Amino acid sequence: MSDTKNPNDVRDQVSRAYATALKASEEGGSCCGSKKTVPAGMAAKLAGYEAELDSVPEGAAKSSFGCGNPLAFAEVEEGQTVLDLGSGAGLDLLLARQKVGASGKVIGVDMTDEMIEAARRNVTEAGYDNVELRKGVIEALPVEDASVDLLISNCVINLSPDKPAVFREIARVLKPGGRVSVSDIVAEELPQWVREHAAAYSACIGGAISEQEYVAGLEAAGLTEVEVSERLVYDECQLQGVVGSDLDALGVPREQLEAGVAAVVGKVWSAKFQARKS
């Protein structure tokens, strides 16, 4: 499951892409029918968050780049420690803080300076003092062993050049009995040119593995009760909403964007993975 590309090159590419996307989201845009003003196509990415968006700073919602809501029905309890891999501008951090309360702790790990700065602004605006941002890569988490009750992530692990390392790190930082609730994009039988396209990788498509590989990776890391609790197979319109705006922002020509989307219809979906550490 490891990517053959140079890991540092992949991380640099992804970090630059998301810094660019963050800047674009902060400069504005609109999406018909959404509760907040968000960049074009973002409403599809925020599916599952509708009930929560009014409770967080607008900047956190506008700059969310996820593919699901990993906290929905996650049964988070007050006083727990929640870790978010690839925490971005902090939407899931803020929602997790609402669930764990003042007695809990929320940690976000991200490798992009611009995202960490945006998350800190949103956490400060929300008035929380038990949400901590740490810079790092998800293949080597700056988190203590057996210290986390719930690990969440939203459309980030697919971007990793070494997914087995991520799964091992997940198992390492979880407490015995700790749980995983991850929303991510998976893909099967993608054309090779899509796999190799740098923009497709940054848009969560090129680096996505199959659902079967994902489950096997979590199990190989020692996690148990691994299951896929939700799936959404993207049609062409949804793919345009989920990745089209990202590819457009990255300067991919319109003809190539449309060809790429058409080539992956029915082969890409978002899935929610849940697991437990024994």
Domain edges within the chain = 7-276
pLDDT at 14: 52
User: Which parts of the chain register pLDDT below 70?
Assistant: 1-5, 7-66, 73, 198-203, 242-252
pLDDT at 2: 40
The reported pTM is 0.79
Other C-beta atoms closer than 10 Å to the C-beta of 228 total: 14
pLDDT at 43: 44
pLDDT at 236: 84
Which CATH architecture is the domain 7-276 placed in?
Answer: 3-Layer(aba) Sandwich (3.40)
pLDDT at 248: 61
Other C-beta atoms closer than 10 Å to the C-beta of 192 total: 7
pLDDT at 67: 73
pLDDT at 243: 65
pLDDT at 106: 98
pLDDT at 59: 55
Cα–Cα distance, 256 to 59 (Å, whole number): 31
Burial 97-107 (b: 16+ CB within 10 A, else e): bbbbeeebbbb
Is the Cβ–Cβ distance between 71 and 90 less than 8 Å?
Answer: no
